[in-house]
Amino acid sequence: MGAGVGTGTAAVCQLLRLGGVTAAYLDHASTTALRPEALDALVAQAARGAGNPSSLHSAGRRARVVVEESREALAAALGARAGEVVWTSGGTESDNLALTGLLRARRDADPVRRRVLLAATEHHAVLDCVEHLQAREGVEVTWLPVDGTGLLDLAALEAALVGDDVALVSLMWANNEVGTVQPVARAAELAHAAGVPLHTDAVQAVGHLPVDFAASGADLLSLSAHKFGGPVGTGALLVKRGTSLVPLQHGGGQELGVRSGTLDAAGAAASAAALTAAVADLPTEARRLAGLRDRLLAGLTQVPGAVVRGARPGAGRLPGNAHVTFAGCEGDSLTYLLDAAGVECSTGSACQAGVPQPSHVLLAMGLDAEEAAGALRFSLGWNSTDADVDAALAAIGPAVERARRARSSRTDRSRRRPRSLAGGVS
């Protein structure tokens, strides 16, 4: 270790606070660093020693107090009741529990309710879950269109709600790739008018936008702590009072029987601390990140062939999201080239990284595969700085130039290849 850094818990905390990396990290939408408040809460609870929150002895009761106080703090930060917070392992579990649990509850009450309404730009935690239900349980899916910025067509939603077979609507609060913010409250109004509940995947929104569960009208809301400075492996599903869910896992009956499993007191404490800090900082932090984002976009679009995707900067876009396509490039190549230059970003969702397919979000927005191929997502977070933006702007021009040369060279070689090799043995 470097000079001045010791060993043990204190050293780990010091290293985490110092960061330990020199790269310009611009992939906060994938995961962001632990906030100091979250780290302090995590270490403090871990240092208290053992204690299962479901145990009746003193250590268990102490752990239960931490869990319940954290539940109350999380609920207060999101305009929810404490009894509406169900602890989970993160966004994917929350989405799966919301969709599968709600669908089965609705179908048990009324077997005709087996149709789900989804925007084509949802996260794969939603899409893959519903496609699994479609294949295994006969669920029907109506795919709702979006416009060229990724915004839901509300008229199409209203039309799709006609009939008595709709089980639920799911609409993400803010898109994880292009940052477009969806009209969740209006969508919930339309759904409720048709007697249909609405789930929102708010993983990208919580801690970055004002989120009020009660005011949104949503019946269920998914969140994940590592997106706003909490620990990986902790999240929550907000469940509006009176909403029925069929549990996906069975055991000790924790979380009112909705989600069995030993509760993570340290994770809950750290998550609540991170969200409380994020919400307190939100008014000033959103402006700061939007300023950095706008400067980043202004520089990126100086590169010939660069096009900003998603909603225009403003209230309709996540403040820290900058999504750009670069004509004549492949996003994976750009990602590697930028990484070599000390700039870390992504082509889109980390859950799909390494999969050589164009983004389903961009295709749903009307781009063709060629246009979507050169996509990059730069996302800023609570510890982003001007230096990160400077590094990205210094690296992007040379990276695009090299990526275009490489792609052009591959295309030329393919065209010059003898027909017997290109098309098989003649």
- My answer on whether 55 and 199 are in the same domain is yes
Is 142 among the domain residues? yes
Query: What DSSP state is assigned to residue 225?
Result: G
Is 421 among the domain residues? no
Strands 306-308 and 321-326 come out as antiparallel
- Residue ranges making up the domain that contains 364: 282-413
- My answer on whether 256 and 311 are in the same domain is no
Is 19 among the domain residues? no
Q: How far is CA 426 from CA 112, 196, 413, 417, 420, in A?
A: 56, 60, 20, 14, 6
- At 12, is the secondary structure helix, strand, or coil? helix
Domain end, chosen from 247, 276, 305, is at 276
Is 7 among the domain residues? no
- My answer on whether 266 and 287 are in the same domain is no
CATH number at residue 263: 3.40.640.10
Dihedral sign from CA coordinates of 119, 325, 296, 91: positive
What is the number of domains present in the chain? Answer: 2
* Residue-level pLDDT at 412: 58
Domain end, chosen from 237, 255, 276, is at 276
Amino acid at 285: E
- My answer on whether 195 and 298 are in the same domain is no
What are the per-10-residue average pLDDT scores of the chain (426 residues)?
39 44 89 97 91 93 96 98 98 98 97 96 97 96 98 98 97 98 98 98 98 98 98 98 95 92 96 98 98 98 98 96 97 96 85 68 96 97 98 98 85 56 36
- At 170, is the secondary structure helix, strand, or coil? strand
Q: Which two tokens stand for residue 353?
A: 């990284």
- Looking at 13, 129, 345, 351, which residue is catalytic? 351
- My answer on whether 268 and 223 are in the same domain is yes
- My answer on whether 197 and 54 are in the same domain is yes
Give Cα 71 to chain centroid, integer Å. Answer: 21
Task: Assess contact for 113 and 106: CB atoms under 8 A.
Answer: yes
* Residue-level pLDDT at 50: 83
Is 383 among the domain residues? yes
DSSP, residue by residue, 69-113: HHHHHHHHHTT--GGGEEEESSHHHHHHHHHHHHHHHHHHH-TT-
- My answer on whether 259 and 317 are in the same domain is no
- My answer on whether 123 and 183 are in the same domain is yes
- My answer on whether 116 and 250 are in the same domain is yes
* Residue-level pLDDT at 178: 98
Is 25 among the domain residues? no
Domain end, chosen from 276, 310, 334, is at 276
- Known catalytic membership, residue 345: no
Task: Assess contact for 113 and 138: CB atoms under 8 A.
Answer: no
- My answer on whether 266 and 127 are in the same domain is yes
Phi, psi of 151, rounded to the nearest 5 degrees: -85, 135
Query: What DSSP state is assigned to residue 35?
Result: P
Q: Kindly report the CA angle at 161 between 159 and 163, in degrees rounded to 5?
A: 105
In angstroms, rounded to a whole number, what is the distance separating the alpha carbons of residues 69 and 173?
A: 26
- My answer on whether 76 and 202 are in the same domain is yes
- My answer on whether 52 and 195 are in the same domain is yes
CATH number at residue 403: 3.90.1150.10
Is 365 among the domain residues? yes
